[in-house]
Amino acid sequence: EEAGILTPEVKARLAAAYGEAGEHAAAAVALDAPPPGQTALFNQWEDAVECAKCGGRMVRTGSCYTCRDCGTNTGCS
């Protein structure tokens, strides 16, 4: 054990001593971890403009904007 070589008996004893605590700790870490992808606060309409035709919010479509309500775009192709 001191030399770093674990016999099957020592492995079983360590598994019994730390097995349950390790499982609970792993579950707690998995629940506290944020989902993959965007984790910061983000406003998707931060740089959007209002539609001149209907007043709705326009969303970016490439380098242009398209209105989600009426479909008007800023003239880009």
Q: Are residues 47 and 66 in the same domain?
A: yes
Q: Which residue has the tokens 């959007």?
A: 48
Please name which of 34, 32, 69 lies closest in space to residue 48, comparing C-alpha atoms.
Answer: 69
pLDDT top residue among 3 and 62? 62
Domain span including residue 29:
1-33
Q: Are residues 24 and 55 in the same domain?
A: no
Domain count, the chain: 2
List, for residues 1-50, the tens digit of each pLDDT value: 566 778 888 888 888 887 655 555 555 555 566 666 666 655 655 666 88
pLDDT at 10: 82
